Amino acid sequence: MAKAFLVLDDGRIFEGKSWAATGRTFGEAVFQTGMTGYQETLTDPSYHRQVVVMTAPHIGNTGVNTPDNESRKIWVAGFVVRNPSTITSNWRSEKDLEAELIEQSIVGIQGIDTRALTRHLRDRGAMRVGIFSDVELTREEMVIEVRKTDAMSGAYLSADVSTEQTYVVPAIGKKKFSVAAIDLGIKGATPRALAARGVEVHVLPFNATFEEITAVKPDGVFLSNGPGDPSTMSDVVDLVREVLGAEIPIFGICFGHQILGRALGFETYKLQFGHRGINQPVLDKKTGKVEITAHNHGFAIKAPTDAIFNTVYGPGEVTHIGLNDGVVEGLQLLERGAFSVQYHPEAAAGPHDAAYLFDRFIALMEKYPRVQAVI
Amino acid sequence: MARDESIKSVLVIGSGPIVIGQACEFDYSGTQACRVLRAEGIRVILVNSNPATIMTDPEFADATYIEPITPEFIEKIIAKERPDAVLATLGGQTALNAAIGLHKAGTLEKYKTRLIGADVDAIERGENREIFRGIVEKIGGESAKSVICHTMEEIIAGVEVLNYPVVIRPSFTMGGLGSGIAFDEESLRQIAGAGLRHSPTSEVLLEESIIGWKEYELEVMRDKSDNVVIVCSIENIDPMGVHTGDSITVAPALTLTDVEFQKLRDLSIDIIREVGVATGGCNIQFAVNPDDGRIIVIEMNPRVSRSSALASKATGFPIAKIATKLAIGYTLDEIKNDITQVTPASFEPTLDYIVVKVPRFAFEKFADADPRLTTTMKSVGEAMAIGRSFPEALMKALRSLERKEAIFHFPADISGIDVAALLLAMRIPTEYRLQQVQQAMWAGATIEDVFAATKIDRWFLHQLDLINLRARELAQPAELSLDYLKSAKEMSFSDAQIAQLRGVHEGDIRKARHHLGLHPVYKTVDTCAAEFEAFTPYHYSSYEEETEVRTRTKPAVIILGSGPNRIGQGIEFDYSCVHASFTLRDAGYETVMINCNPETVSTDYDTSDRLYFEPLTLEDVLEVVHAETLAGPVLGVITQLGGQTPLGLAAGLKAAGVTILGTSPDAINLAEERGAFGKVLAEQALTAPEFGMASSQLEALDIAARIGYPVLVRPSFVLGGRGMEIVYDDAALSGFITRATYITPDHPVLVDRFLDSAIEIDVDALYDGSELFLGGVMEHIEEAGIHSGDSACVLPAMTITPSQQKSIREATLKIAQGVGVLGLINIQFAIAGDILYVLEANPRASRTVPFVSKATGVPLAKAAARISLGTSIADLRSEGLLPASGDGVAKAISVKEAVLPWNRFRRTDGRGVDAVLGPEMRSTGEVMGIAHTFGESYAKSQISAFGPLPKSGTVFISLADKDKSSGLAPSRAFAELGFNLIATGGTADFLANNGILAHKVRKNSEGSGPMGEKTIVELLNTGGVDLVINTPVGRGTRADGWAIRTAAVQRSIPCITTTAGFSAAVQGIRALQRGELSVSPIQEWLKM
């Protein structure tokens, strides 16, 4: 196997072996600590432009299958693993992981000390990275190449990942509500979770206008997860303010949560190395209960966690906090139907502890029925 | 939230002696529980009959009752101590059963105390199969189709519905006791019949067979706010059909997608909620059909289990500690993760490494036992290994077993490997199935061939293939380059394995490797895959880039543990290692523990300053020494506390330039090498039994004629009493030699004079080079010839005179001086006639160290560790670690009794193995009884070990001719105590001739009588006998004795096989008859 190099912005280089597609790739280096769910990770649009380091050493054991794809393609910019499996063993497996990565031209690297890399990223923060499995460059040249690329801060990526056309995911069973979901990088599991609760989901492009939203006569608006820096999203933030003004119930997750936060007037900031895993404890401040949740975020909202805050849309509060580091993980308006969480109630991959949030969205739509005059 | 302030005192119930299925993992969990409760300022009352545990050390509880764990005794403790609450979920099935007993007897209510952790309803819901089935159905899960049966008729009818093969599982037993798989009616009747007997509710479950399915286990924790986390997922490499305790297992699960794993997670959470385990841990087992993913819930344990200990060590999440905190009212988010110090315990550990656990068996000790692995657990211990890949973890784990058969071999010539035979053999799981698989694949079998034979997941088989492939590459002639060695080390090929592949010596490889600067790095178990900084140095090796060993300034002492539990080397040695670590930490050293046994206290990450979870081989230990030497000053390695395993490494370590603290390897050799030791004895004018070394049958007979029968014979190349036998005449000696050994000049047979009817004495002592401290002189209750580990013993010795005591002390001092001991020494003596014989000396901590320490209140292991580092006995006396003057003094009369695993093993014909004691050790654990009189303490020890001795009823007596005279007095005493005596012909006649009435009963071989008179075996089976005295004529199943003893064992009727035990039983029963046995905590005894 050919040599390959993982080259970090700060000059540290890991030598491994070429895996998946050969070539070179760049992105933001982030680590993912889930022990299951590599396929969901790969196909999660939120990982667009990121080179993902899997901390679990054996990856690919169960191959890949169609039902577990979270979107139409693999989004990661590069994939870093210690021991890729050269055999797949699972009754649902359709294809070998490496074959799938090669088919989608995803450059990977294997055989590096992923724990050392993870510790480095933890201590120094997420940073730019390149994988080179064509090695005609010197080490210095590779570092220069990496430093030429764009950083994640300030990245505007929704256009890359969003659907171009609106599409509809029909409700399962009796249709109770319609929801307009703004696709900022939505995962398949979200419309599935809503549809299972009798919601017809209209998935709209990221640049949908308020009129396009009202045209589907939504009972609620869903703001999806997605990649990029929330501070670049002023258009969508303005759109959300219009939705808030129209008093249409809103549920945002992850990137959508950050956008709701910005729409309410809060700042967002970049975390040192982010939360990416499926074991993150989140405290529901109201019930005192802890849920184990799937996370994938590099940015977070700055909001007061100890008291009710005021916004132009009325009072609100932080509802959830991350127990590992106290990050704001959820907020809601108290007099309007809008709430959001920084994590992934749709899981995929990850635990189902937070699935109740979809029920909460349903309850919210029941509490704040569509105002005919507005829409 | 915070803790329940109404709880000011808690009774913790321990798990009793180490038995198969319930080992020192409960010492680990119980010790954690006691520590947590004390740290909270709660008064801790502990009951545990096992003296070899750390938890029963006086400093771990306020009141430590080394008393039988029965509802009757616990009631006495509750009456005395009035605890606010009882914690029974950390003491295994024993504690849980005791708790249910207390509840049923109304004790808890009577004394207004309550169970914390899980209540009786939850325990019943989790353990009663019928109720549990209902729960599984209610939450939308699926159970295997099954039928509950209470009689053999119901069982036979049940199979009509389920078809063969069927799985039989008795209710309320631990470690799968009495369960099995039946393929036909004959095996069904055998297994189910035993199952009905083993189940306290005479209930068994017949179940559809899901043999060959994938098997998983999830460790779950819940707090009172209903927060639930999954601590760990474990996947069994051996598919369904092998008890999980006997399976090779891996964490985390490796062959499930997230979708499937989350289904298991959801089911687990729904189950723990529905069962209603209020707080604490439980484990839930699943089977998954490899073809379609159908999930079946197998069972749950509503308590901390063996798997919890494994999961704790595998993840760094201390389940028992946290379960205890939850039981007193904390919630998961209020508890800090020790390792990261910043994040809470309400999270799910994530692993960036692979953990493999392998079982260790003891079939060689039970020659006639069925070696097939089934749903009844048979292993006696386990080793765990951590690696950054599955092959690395697996190869380390196999090395950790310390058995040459367990390590993969890669012979250059494969013509001797019969692939077809291996493929056939591996269909039936046995101890070395994985090695059969690897050999078959090495010789050409494909993954599909092996999968068809074993149903082991192809992913694991592929990993074995990769190991074989790497071995093939390594066998190619090539330069010993860095790349070459690194590729071998990445899969954890040992230096020895590489050497074998290249046809050179292990040392050559090591030298070349070190010359290239290739050493392992040490990673950290941190619960979070490096997401947060770890503050606990819990390390494992890997050949990667970056090491995480921190530098230090304090001088370090490295302590070698004892590896996987096995018969002869178990928790007692872990006890000594842990003590050493505690005392050396206190004395200002940095302690570094190396061990690979996940069940132990020594592998708890906060026992020592640093923990290396590594195999105990020379190579692995040398690498740790190297890493620690780079980190800071290392004073040396302690090898005398972990039993034979570290002792065996001492010479190699020294040769490699490592300082051995305490007794030197040369001194060890003086004691262990027979010729050298003989010289030491001769120089000191001490006597040993005569012996000779025979390299032919003729020579053996000559030696026997010279030294006189009986003689003890054994092959010279095995240790630990394996293959030893006592023979009384030429015919038996010839028989032994033709049957049991192949005898050559290279493999001679040792023939020792056997001191018939001698009193055997065990001594534990400390020596610092000038002063001797005699820790204790124990007298065996069984006479010489029974392995000391299997013999009951009493401290102080009861029958030796002051002058004998004096000569024992003198002899001990002479041997300690002669050998050059620095620390502990254990010596076995025999007194026959007026002569004191030295049987053997072990210059290390012995099995009896914890017992002696409990009985005398002197921490021998701690003192030994300090002596190893140069502190004198005089200093230790003035420090208060040793008594100010004199030797160890027993504070009361303490009896140690061994616990034997007879009921675990069965022959291939389904019948029991012979329950007879001999020179080969077979016990798995021990108990202690402590009281003012010998009778009381003996009675307590018997109750703890075997269940109650009868106070009245029928005693069956059958004495071998050699035992008749010594059996007379106790027989007479039994008659006087009001027992009804029955005996077989010869014994009955003998007793009648001596004026003792015993009813004659037919031998098994005689069959039922013409008038339907029952044989003794039939009587035993119908419950007409309360106590069996049966001394064996000789070894082997020809004797009627075997049928009697196995029937007694299977019916749980106390069975005594020596006349010394018989005499002791008289005193015990007398004490029982006199009235209630009182209970006292060890702290009170030690004040005396």
User: What CA–CA distances, in Å, run from A206 to A181, A212, A240, A256, B646?
Assistant: 9, 11, 11, 11, 66
Answer yes or no: is B930 within a domain. Answer: no
B322: pLDDT strictly greater than 60: yes
pLDDT at B381 over 70: yes
- Position B736 scores a pLDDT of 83
pLDDT digits (tens, 9 = 90+) for B727-741: 888 988 888 887 765
Question: Is residue B131 situated within a structural domain?
Answer: no
Residue pair A250/A244 in contact by the 8 Å Cβ criterion = yes
Q: Say yes or no: B469 and B561 in one domain.
A: no
What does the pLDDT look like over B544-598, one tens digit per residue? Answer: 999 999 999 999 999 999 999 999 899 999 999 999 999 999 999 999 999 999 9
Q: What is the mean pLDDT of residues A135-150?
A: 93
A40 is catalytic: no
So what's the pLDDT on residue A252? 98
pLDDT tens digits, one per residue of B801-826: 999 999 999 999 999 999 999 999 99
Q: Which residues of B touch A35 (CB under 8 A)?
A: 233, 252-253, 350-351
The rounded distance, in Å, linking the Cα atoms of B780 and B787 is 10
Q: What is the pLDDT of residue B413?
A: 93
Query: What's the pLDDT at B1036?
Result: 42
Instruction: Confirm whether B921 is domain-assigned.
Output: no
Task: State the pLDDT at residue B1.
Answer: 57
Q: For residues B795 and B783, give the distance between their C-alpha atoms in angstroms, rounded to a whole number.
A: 15
Asked if pLDDT for residue B629 goes beyond 50, the answer is yes
Say if residue A3's pLDDT is above 50: yes
Q: How confident is the model at residue B712 (pLDDT cuts 50, 70, 90)?
A: confident
What mean pLDDT is reported for chain B? 92
Determine the 3-state secondary structure of B187 from DSSP: helix
Hey, of B229, B230, B259, B535, which one would you mutate to test binding to chain A, going by the most A CBs within 10 A of its CB? Answer: B259
Q: Which of residues 270-329 of A touch B (CB under 8 A)?
A: 277-281, 283, 288-290, 292, 323-325
pLDDT tens for A340-367 read 999 999 999 999 999 999 999 999 999 9
Spell out the SS3 assignment of chain A.
CCEEEEEECCCCEEEEEEEEECCEEEEEEEEECCCCCHHHHHCCHHHECEEEEECCCEECCCCECCCCCCCCCCCECEEEECEECCCCCCCCCCECHHHHHHHCCCEEEECCCHHHHHHHHHHHCCEEEEEECCCCCCHHHHHHHHHCCCCCCCCCCHHHHCCCCCEEECCCCCCCEEEEEECCCCCCHHHHHHHCCCEEEEEECCCCCHHHHHHCCCCEEEECCCCCCHHHCHHHHHHHHHHHHCCCCEEEECHHHHHHHHHCCCEEEEEEEEEEEEEEEEEECCCCCEEEEEEEEEEEEECCCCCCEEECCEEEEEEEEECCCCCEEEEEECCCCEEEECCECCCCCCCCHHHHHHHHHHHHHHHCCCCCCCC
Mean pLDDT of A133-161: 92
pLDDT, residue A230, reads 96
Q: How far apart are CA B841 and CA B836, in angstroms?
A: 14
CATH number, residue B616: 3.40.50.20
Tell me: pLDDT of B720 over 60. no
- Looking at the fold, whether B675 and B693 belong to one and the same domain comes out as no
Query: And the tokens for B704?
Result: 């026997």
Q: Do B350 and A288 lie within an 8 Å CB cutoff?
A: no
Mean pLDDT, rounded, for B229-250? 96
Q: Are B160 and B149 in contact (CB under 8 A)?
A: no
Where residue B879 sits, what CATH number does that domain have? 3.30.470.20
Distance CA B872, CA B894 (A): 29
Comparing alpha-carbon positions, the chain B residue that sits nearest to A93 is: B257
Nearest CA in chain A to B332: A290
Residues B673 and B794 in one domain: yes
- Closest residue in chain B to residue A85, using alpha carbons only: B459
Alpha-carbon torsion (B633, B636, B637, B641), positive or negative: negative
pLDDT, greater one: A112 or B1060: A112
In this prediction, residue B738 carries a pLDDT of 79
Give B650-665 pLDDT, tens digit per residue.
999 999 999 999 999 9
Closest CA to A127 of A230, A53, A32, A29: A29
pLDDT of residue B1028: 92
Q: What residue in B sits closest to A34 (Cα-Cα)?
A: B350
Banded pLDDT at B1023 (limits 50, 70, 90):
confident
Higher-confidence residue: A251 or B146? A251
Task: Let me know if domain A1-146 sits in CATH 3.50.30.20.
Answer: yes
Q: Are residues B649 and B714 in the same domain?
A: no
**Residue B984: predicted pLDDT:** 87
Q: Is the peptide bond before B710 cis (omega within 30 degrees of 0)?
A: yes
Tell whether B1055 is covered by a domain.
yes
Average pLDDT over residues A331-347: 96
CATH code at position B737: 3.30.1490.20
In this structure, are B523 and B615 located in the same domain?
yes
d(CA B800, CA B834): 11
Residue B379 corresponds to which tokens in the numbers above? Answer: 């292993």
Give the model's pLDDT for residue B1037.
39
CA B900 to centroid of chain Cα atoms: 11
3-state secondary structure of B162: helix
Q: What is the mean pLDDT of residues A269-282?
A: 95
B257, B331, B332, B524, best to mutate vs chain A, most A CBs in 10 Å: B257
Q: What is the mean pLDDT of residues A26-48?
A: 97
pLDDT at B743: 63
pLDDT for res A238: 97
Q: Average pLDDT for residues B416-435, to the nearest whole number?
A: 96
Question: With 60 as the cut, is the pLDDT of residue B702 above it?
Answer: yes
**Whether residue B632 sits in one domain with residue B557:** yes
pLDDT band at B1088 (very low <50, low <70, confident <90, very high): confident
Contact predicate B518/B547, CB 8 Å:
no
* pLDDT for residue B145 is more than 80: yes
| pLDDT tens track for B1036-1048 | 434 577 778 878 8
**pLDDT at residue B36, as a whole number:** 96
Residue B691 pLDDT: 87
| pLDDT above 60: residue B1011 | yes
| In-domain check, residue B397 | yes
pLDDT at B1033: 66
Cβ–Cβ < 8 Å for B231, B281: yes
Confirm whether B336 is domain-assigned: yes
B993 has a pLDDT exceeding 90: yes
Q: Do B173 and B149 lie in a common domain?
A: yes
Provide the pLDDT for residue A96.
97
The CA angle A358-A364-A370, to the nearest 5 degrees, is 120
Chain B hits for A5, CB-CB cut-off 8 Å, are none
Q: B798 — phi, psi (to 5°)? A: -95, -30
Pairing of strands B823-832, B759-767: antiparallel
- Using 50, 70 and 90 to split pLDDT, how confident is the model at B726? confident
Mean pLDDT, chain A, rounded, equals 95
Within-domain flag for B122: no
A325 CA: distance to closest CA in chain B (Å): 7
* Residue B63 phi, psi dihedral angles, 5° rounding: -140, 115
Interchain CB distance below 8 Å, A39 and B342: no
- For residues B1067 and B1071, what is the distance between their CA atoms, to the nearest angstrom? 6
Lookup: tokens for B309: 């200990």
- Same domain? B537 vs B627: yes
CA distance B655 to B669: 14
Query: Tell me, what's the pLDDT at B741?
Result: 59
A247 flagged as catalytic: no
Q: What is the pLDDT of residue B319?
A: 95
Active site residue A257: no
Determine whether A316 is exposed, middle or buried from the number of CB atoms within 10 Å of its CB (0-12, 13-18, 19+): buried
Q: Of B162, B178, B206, which residue is a domain's last?
A: B206
Q: Which A positions 136-195 lie with beta carbon below 8 A of chain B?
A: none
Domain that holds residue B576: 519-656
| Pick among 3.30.70.260, 1.10.490.10, 2.40.50.140, 3.40.50.880: CATH of A156-365 | 3.40.50.880
| Whether residues B677 and B693 fall in one domain | no
| pLDDT tens string B994-1005 | 999 999 998 887
Residue B1035 — very low, low, confident or very high, per pLDDT cuts 50/70/90? Answer: very low
Q: What is the structure's pLDDT at A375? A: 47
Domain count, chain B: 8
Instruction: Provide the percentage of residues in chain B whose pLDDT is more than 90.
Output: 71
Q: Find the residue in A nearest to B254 (Cα).
A: A61
Please compute the mean of the pLDDT values over residues B875-897 and round it to a whole number.
Answer: 95
Answer whether residue B222 shows pLDDT above 80: yes
Q: How many CB pairs under 8 A join A and B?
A: 174
The domain ranges of chain A are 1-146, 156-365
- Is residue A2 pLDDT above 50, yes or no? yes
For residue B909, is it within any domain? no
Q: Are residues B747 and B709 in the same domain?
A: yes
Q: What does pTM read for this prediction?
A: 0.94
| Of residues B229, B258, B459, nearest to A89 (C-beta) | B459
- Roughly what angle, to the nearest 10 degrees, separates helices B92-104 and B71-81? 70
Contact status of B349 with chain A (Cβ, < 8 Å): yes
Q: Assess whether B415 and B276 both reside in one domain.
A: no
Task: Kindly report, residue by residue over B17-37, the tens digit of the pLDDT.
Answer: 999 989 889 999 999 999 999
pLDDT value of position A202: 98
Q: Tens digit of pLDDT for each residue in B76-106?
A: 999 999 999 999 999 999 999 999 999 999 9
Please indicate whether, in this complex, the C-beta atoms of A62 and B257 are within 8 angstroms of each other.
yes
Statement: residue A372 has pLDDT above 90: no
A209-233 pLDDT, tens digit per residue, is 999 999 999 999 999 999 999 999 9
Bridge partners of A54?
Answer: A32
Residues A115, B546: C-beta atoms closer than 8 Å: yes
CA gap B923, B917 in Å, rounded? 9
Q: Is B685's pLDDT higher than 50? A: yes
Q: Which tokens belong to B421? A: 């035979």
Does residue B676 sit in the same domain as residue B711?
no
- The percentage of residues in chain B with a pLDDT greater than 70, rounded to a whole number, is 97
How is residue B409 annotated by DSSP? -
